[in-house]
């Protein structure tokens, strides 16, 4: 054992001298730890921890050209990093990010995310306007199809222009594409065919397929029929037949046969009274219509229409609110609170989820509420 230690010490001393003279930094001595005292090793470790790795933090910069293309560039100072392995990984990541494949895929993602960004943001909101949501879905599908049909030439020009500006080597699109992993002798796929059909169209088709699955034909029909209740532009979309079809096709369990007949009669009176009433002007959403019916007392007169409107308002256009509720439940009902009753859990979740409402409740208002009589002991 002592012989091996002396051998390791000799090797380490030899390579340490060579490294200081003519050995590059990339050569690393493996399995030859230096033999130093524990106190010296602790001092050296503390010195390393106190020494800053780099005065310039890693930066993510966005370069823009005349074609409005973008790339992510990671910059670090030479020699920075906690270990040679980390520096090697960072160097490999930079080389990969400056490759043509990475830049091409990044441009494809930029185009797709630019089209779906507005729809994704609206689906993350708590309250959804069904009419506006359907307009955004329709527009997003149309733009994705337009990108698939007519977007290849522009995308190709943007990528080539970007690579030329930043000195990235580009392949010749007319040459045969060689796949070193799944190569076949009879395969005569060109480079342009690979990037257009195997990457570009596949990504666009997957995005379109997800939208079609989420908003399929039945869901789209349901949401389109719901637009007949929209009060926007003085009830321009109001249609009695569509509203009756909505109730009969999608809510047969909520309306009896006699109520279906009464619903059509109520809709006739509703069409002549509500759209022309000054109380129902300048409404933009179905939720505002429901609130105005309740405040004006018309919800009792048109109780079937009010029931249908409330059912429409419960449609889950997005699952963002439900996902937030389950996430909040994990934070509120922890392992130490596993015996929390349903009533107390419901109250805690209500305060946590509806933070906008809870912010307007002051501590003094809560104290005054608890201090109101009758109360046995004064609250102080």
Q: Are residues 286 and 210 in the same domain?
A: no
Q: Are residues 303 and 325 in the same domain?
A: no
Domain boundary among 266, 282, 313: 313
**Three-state SS for 123?**
helix
Q: Are residues 309 and 327 in the same domain?
A: no
pLDDT for res 53: 35
Domain membership of residue 289 (yes or no) is: yes
Q: Are residues 21 and 1 in the same domain?
A: yes
Q: Is 128 left (phi over 0), alpha (psi -120 to 50) or beta?
A: beta
The whole-angstrom separation of Cα 140 and Cα 123 is 13
| Spatial CA neighbour of 115 closest among 95, 99, 139, 133 | 139
pLDDT for res 45: 44
Q: Are residues 117 and 198 in the same domain?
A: yes
Domain membership of residue 70 (yes or no) is: no
Q: Are residues 105 and 204 in the same domain?
A: yes
Domain membership of residue 222 (yes or no) is: no
Q: Are residues 269 and 346 in the same domain?
A: no
Domain membership of residue 349 (yes or no) is: yes
pLDDT for res 322: 65
Q: Are residues 143 and 250 in the same domain?
A: no
Domain membership of residue 68 (yes or no) is: no
pLDDT for res 221: 83
Residues spanned by the domain of 11: 1-51
Domain membership of residue 61 (yes or no) is: no
List, in sequence order, every beta strand (DSSP E) within 166-249: none
pLDDT for res 24: 37
Domain membership of residue 64 (yes or no) is: no
pLDDT for res 244: 92
Please give the tally of structural domains in the chain: 4
Task: Give me the residues of the chain with pLDDT under 50, please.
Answer: 7, 11, 14-15, 17-79
Q: Are residues 281 and 361 in the same domain?
A: no
Domain membership of residue 31 (yes or no) is: yes
C-alpha distances out from residue 76 to 54, 94, 223, 292, 360, Å: 8, 10, 51, 60, 46
| Spatial CA neighbour of 321 closest among 292, 352, 287 | 352
C-alpha dihedral, 284 to 285 to 288 to 290, nearest 10°: 130
Q: Are residues 279 and 357 in the same domain?
A: no
pTM for this entry: 0.54
Q: Are residues 116 and 199 in the same domain?
A: yes
Q: Are residues 204 and 247 in the same domain?
A: no
Strand partners, 61: 73
């Amino acid at each position: 054992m002592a012989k091996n230690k002396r051998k390791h010490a000799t090797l380490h001393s030899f390579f340490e001298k060579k490294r200081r003279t003519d050995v590059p930094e990339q050569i690393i001595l493996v399995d030859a730890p230096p033999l130093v005292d524990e106190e010296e090793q602790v001092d050296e470790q503390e010195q390393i921890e106190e020494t800053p790795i780099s005065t310039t933090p890693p930066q993510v910069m966005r370069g823009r050209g005349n074609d409005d293309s973008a790339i992510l560039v990671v910059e670090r100072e030479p020699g920075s990093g906690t270990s040679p392995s980390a520096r090697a990984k960072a160097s490999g990541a930079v080389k990969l990010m400056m490759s043509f494949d990475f830049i091409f895929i990044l441009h494809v993602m930029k185009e797709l995310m630019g089209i779906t960004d507005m729809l994704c943001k609206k689906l993350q909101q708590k309250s959804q306007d069904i009419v506006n949501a359907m307009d955004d879905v329709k527009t997003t599908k149309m733009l994705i199809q337009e990108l698939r049909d007519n977007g290849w030439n522009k995308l190709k020009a943007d990528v080539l222009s970007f690579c030329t500006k930043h000195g990235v080597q580009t392949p010749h699109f007319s040459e045969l594409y060689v796949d070193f992993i799944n190569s076949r002798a009879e395969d005569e796929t060109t480079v342009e065919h690979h990037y257009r059909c195997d990457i570009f169209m596949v990504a666009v088709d997957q995005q379109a397929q997800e939208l079609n699955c989420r908003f399929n034909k039945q869901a789209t029909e349901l949401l389109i029929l719901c637009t007949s209740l929209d009060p926007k532009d003085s009830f321009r979309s109001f249609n009695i037949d569509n509203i009756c079809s909505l109730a009969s096709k999608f809510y047969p369990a909520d309306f009896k046969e006699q109520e279906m007949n009464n619903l059509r009669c109520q809709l006739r009176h509703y069409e002549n009274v509500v759209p022309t009433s000054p109380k129902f002007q300048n409404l933009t959403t179905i939720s505002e219509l429901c609130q105005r019916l309740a405040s004006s007392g018309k919800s009792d007169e048109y109780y079937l229409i009010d029931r249908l409107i409330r059912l429409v308002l419960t449609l889950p256009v997005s699952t963002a609110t439900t996902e937030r509720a389950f996430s909040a439940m994990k934070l509120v009902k922890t392992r130490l609170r596993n015996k929390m009753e349903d009533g107390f859990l419901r109250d805690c979740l209500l305060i946590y989820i509806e933070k906008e409402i809870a912010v307007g409740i002051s501590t003094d208002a809560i104290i005054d509420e608890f201090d109101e009589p009758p109360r046995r002991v004064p609250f102080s």
